[in-house]
Amino acid sequence: MIYTLTVNPSLDYISKIKDFNIGEINRSYEEKIVAGGKGINVSTILNRLGMDTIALGFLAGFIGKEIERKVKENQIETDFIYLHQGNSRINMKIKSNEIETEINAGGPLISKKEIALLFDKIKEMKAGDILVLAGSIPRSLDTIFYASIIKEIQDKDMLVVVDTTDDLLLKTLKFHPFLIKPNKTEIEEIVKKELKSKEDMIEAANYLQQLGARNVLISLGSNGAILITESNQVYFEEAKQGMVINSTGAGDSMVAGFLYGYLVEKTYEAGLKWGVACGSATTFSLDLASKEKILEIKSR
């Protein structure tokens, strides 16, 4: 089974405004509310490609109930933990004149007892299962949180994918996650230098592998993606061409696509090709890409 963990899910309120002006009253011409969170996005794309997942995470209050309702609308199985106080986040996404502005809330407090409930679920996972750890964590949790989860299952022969940033990512590496997916900016922040060439990116990925990462997938936005495998193979895939409409969830779509391609076709190269196809398809869509859009982009 594929499990996705979204520690800090949200309702994303997406507002489209023709000319957004700071300090003035702005009126939107279109609004949408969707369940947000990187792990939830991964589950959504995998589900659309025909793969079952279970979405894990913490929810709180009436906002949490609406998040779960929307996730289940997409026929995704859930096993969320409800917190005893607070509310899940509402994030504001403003789209105006090809510019996206986001206001992301911090999220509710999570108690030690509620964290223990999550670890009880983690302990029930079996060899052959896949766990995707994606996104930020609330302020109440320590940056060793993801590392602690991987440590719990390191002897179970599971594949773990980590898609997060900074110390939250770095502290997982000694437990050898199967795949990490920084984007170009995120990996530049880690190695503290600008990456101007493929050689620079390979060197940076090798550094993360020396720290323990097995496979490093670097998303390059409109330039595609580069994959450096644990056997030192390097694959590059150009992004598909099309009109960019939306960037939200593109990286999560790439993670989902990589897993789909790797699991179905059994090669890293296939994983990369499906990852770029899914990421591109989402950028050409109003929301996360449909199966039809993904297949159309993949066939190009």
CA distance 174 to 213: 8
Which one, of 9, 29, 34, lies nearest residue 19 by Cα? Answer: 29
Residues 120, 166, 167, 252: which is the catalytic one?
Answer: 252
Taking every pair of Cα atoms in the chain, the longest distance, rounded to a whole number of angstroms, is 56
Q: State the DSSP string of 255-288.
A: HHHHHHHHHHH-SHHHHHHHHHHHHHHHHTSSSS
Q: Which residues contact 271 (CB under 8 A, 6 or more apart)?
A: 227, 257, 258, 259, 260, 261, 262, 265
Amino acid at 156: K
Amino acid at 214: R
- The CB density around residue 5, as the number of other CB atoms within 10 Å, is 24
Is residue 166 part of the annotated active site? The answer reads no
Which are the catalytic amino acids? Answer: 252
